[in-house]
A and B are shown apart, each in its own frame.
Chain A
Amino acid sequence: SQTIHQWPATLVQPVGSPLSLECTVEGTSNPNLYWYRQAAGRGLQLLFYSVGIGQISSEVPQNLSASRPQDRQFILSSKKLLLSDSGFYLCAWSVGSLGYGYTFGSGTRLTVV
């Protein structure tokens, strides 16, 4: 069966420090991968999505970047965190058949202090 792993679960980082969040998917090939951010009272914001290795689409200009070095690995990064980067980050995957929707990871709670 397919599973999605996301880590760490919680993270407290100082302003100006780097960030690396990792997401991996098991049990499927060539998934579409997504990073969402959920800030308090602001719903879910799509940050990046990827339809293949090395293919990254950015939805909003910001302090973050994403990479997909392997088929089932998706990494969210920042060189210097801002206070406004705090939030709950969710990774998700989908397969080519659109009707299945997305499957989400358990999320990372990032607090920038």
Chain B
Amino acid sequence: AQSVTQLGSHVSVSEGALVLLRCNYSSSVPPYLFWYVQYPNQGLQLLLKYTSAATLVKGINGFEAEFKKSETSFHLTKPSAHMSDAAEYFCAALGGGSNYKLTFGKGTLLTVNP
């Protein structure tokens, strides 16, 4: 079965610093991969997705992620953090047999310090 691992349940950065949120998936077949963001008491909003096209994917709000098959990773980055980026981020994978079901990581809470 597909599994998604997010390293670090809580990441804290200073405003203007690099944001790096880590995600690894387990599948012998490269799946579709997604990053979602959740602000307090809101639903999940799609940041970006990888669907076997370009390995470097650009999303909204200046975020991007790189698919690395050799590392089974899909890490999320942003060059310069803003206060408004403070939220919880979820990595998810779809595929590898569970065609209808997204498998989510446990989430990473991003804190941005002034």
Considering the complex, give the chain A residue whose CB is closest to the CB of B105. Answer: A43
Considering the complex, give the chain A residue whose CB is closest to the CB of B99. Answer: A98
Taking a contact as CB atoms under 8 Å apart, the answer to whether A49 and B101 are in contact is: yes
Which residues in A have their C-beta under 8 angstroms from that of B104?
Answer: 43-44
Interface class of chain B by DSSP:
strand
In this assembly, does A101 line the interface, its C-beta being within 8 Å of a C-beta of chain B? yes
The count of chain B contact residues (Cβ–Cβ below 8 Å) is 23
Which residues in A have their C-beta under 8 angstroms from that of B51?
Answer: 99
A-contact 0/1 string along B22-45, CB 8 Å cutoff = 000000000010101000011111
Which residues in A have their C-beta under 8 angstroms from that of B99?
Answer: 98
Taking a contact as CB atoms under 8 Å apart, the answer to whether B102 and A51 are in contact is: no
Taking a contact as CB atoms under 8 Å apart, the answer to whether B49 and A43 are in contact is: no
Taking a contact as CB atoms under 8 Å apart, the answer to whether A101 and B46 are in contact is: yes
The interface stretch among A11-19, A67-75, A104-112 is A104-112
The interface stretch among B11-19, B66-74, B75-83, B88-96 is B88-96
